[in-house]
Amino acid sequence: MTTAAVWAAVPLIGGLGAVLRFVVDRTVSKRTGAAFPYGTLVVNISGALLLGFVAGLALPTHLALLAGTAFVGSYTTFSTWMLETHRLGEERQLGPAVANIGVSLVLGLAAAACGLWLGTRL
């Protein structure tokens, strides 16, 4: 059963995840200065690592909800990833668009597996 405290914590923790996503994305994007969406890539790969780690910890249901769904769910961004990939395609940058999909999938799965492995070791 979900308590009122959990319901109250979801938007707060989700808000933290969203703010951190913004900060990480902007920091990486400013440093690279490239047309390729490195900021979103870093956010999503680090989010996959974190979610794998949380899953490996086998947390109680309420903590898993807060860490996985509220924080990591708002930190990572599928919609921005697809929007930026679409933008690359519209700009006829097909190589970078395909690379964005492939690299994100491969590194995301590897990061999640690594996070899971680390989480199960604690």
User: Annotated binding site: which residue ranges?
Assistant: 73, 76
C-alpha 114/C-alpha 94 separation (Å) is 30
Residues at the annotated binding site for Na(+)? 73, 76
Buried-exposed string 38-48: b where 16+ CB fall within 10 A, e elsewhere: bbbbbbbbbbb
Query: Would you give the distance in Å from CA 99 to the centre of its chain?
Result: 18
